[in-house]
Amino acid sequence: MDIIFFSDGFKGEKDKEGVLEVREYIKSLTGFRKVYKHFRSANLSTGPNFHTGLSFLSENFEQFIVVEDDLVVSPNYLSYMLSALAFYKEQKTIFSITGFCFPLRLNDYAYDTIIHKRFCSYGWASWSNRTKDVIWDAKGLENLVKTSPNFKKRLNEEGFDLFRMLDKQIKGVISTWDIQMQVHVAEHRLKVVYPVISKVTNIGFDTESTNTFGINYLKTTMDIGLNRKFHFCNENLTVDVLEKQLKKPYGLPALVTRKIINTIIKVTSQVRTVGQLSKSIS
């Protein structure tokens, strides 16, 4: 397999050493058919870096798997992704496949995958012909919001955080890329494939994080990775009880709870910092 790295430039001198250390590690890698190294000379920020990277993938590969640097994957992650890409290739309502899933109560569910309508960026895969028409620019997104009937309602059906995130992206408050993918999924009535047992865990909620903060709501049970053969469901199969479980972390009660807890964490952290500063001055 080919492996492609998109390493954004450092924001300042404090980040320089870490970025250069990562790039030296990338240069040392062997065992792949080819190693592509896209080392940005400046800090593009998350959104532009990813958009440029996805454009490269779409122009040069029929299909691809994306893993960000704050993810840990199971031993059977690649087997699952490659098998799913082959199985769902001709099922045109499927936009992407994700490796992440919250813990689920499955009961007697017979498949290894679930069909859902929310894009998930935690270790995902897709095909170039599915991603090429995603709208990236703020003007295009704003026009879609204004002209597409009931768009806000449709977007928020998969989580009450989504339209708020889109509004921040349009206004330039945040620089991201996954909300643009979800906008595409919602507008074109597409679907996303989830595993019933997560093949990915997120370790991005720590002191070195730049895009995550507060309580880690993404904690999940990861597949031990022994299985290499999967029983995939069809694109038209929907199971309400499972979809409700996937939506729950993005419902109003869960979002409000996380907001309160994160506010407490932030205030406590600020108080602790001020206290430490006062001691150092005295």
- Determine the distance from the C-alpha atom of residue 36 to the mean position of all C-alpha atoms in its chain, rounded to a whole number: 22
Same domain, 24 and 126: no
Q: Which residue has the higher pLDDT, 269 or 104?
A: 104
- pLDDT at position 36 is 96
Same domain, 171 and 210: yes
Same domain, 27 and 119: no
Number of domains into which the chain is organized: 2
80-125: pLDDT as tens digits: 999 999 999 999 999 999 999 999 999 999 999 999 999 999 999 9
Same domain, 116 and 35: no
Q: Is the pLDDT of residue 277 over 60?
A: no
42-53: pLDDT as tens digits: 999 889 999 999
Same domain, 26 and 153: no
Instruction: Give a yes or no: residue 200 inside a domain.
Output: yes
Same domain, 75 and 153: yes
Same domain, 13 and 148: no
Q: What are the residues facing 195 on neighbouring strands?
A: 113
Same domain, 3 and 119: no
Same domain, 93 and 210: yes
Instruction: Give a yes or no: residue 140 inside a domain.
Output: yes
For the entire predicted model, the pTM comes to: 0.88
Same domain, 158 and 213: yes
Give the range of the structural domain holding residue 17, as residue numbers without chain letter.
Answer: 1-43
Same domain, 13 and 150: no
223-251: pLDDT as tens digits: 999 999 999 999 999 999 999 999 999 98
Please, which contacts does 141-146 make with residues 24 or more away whose CB atoms are closer than 8 Å? 141/166, 141/169, 141/170, 141/180, 141/183, 142/170, 144/183, 144/187, 145/170
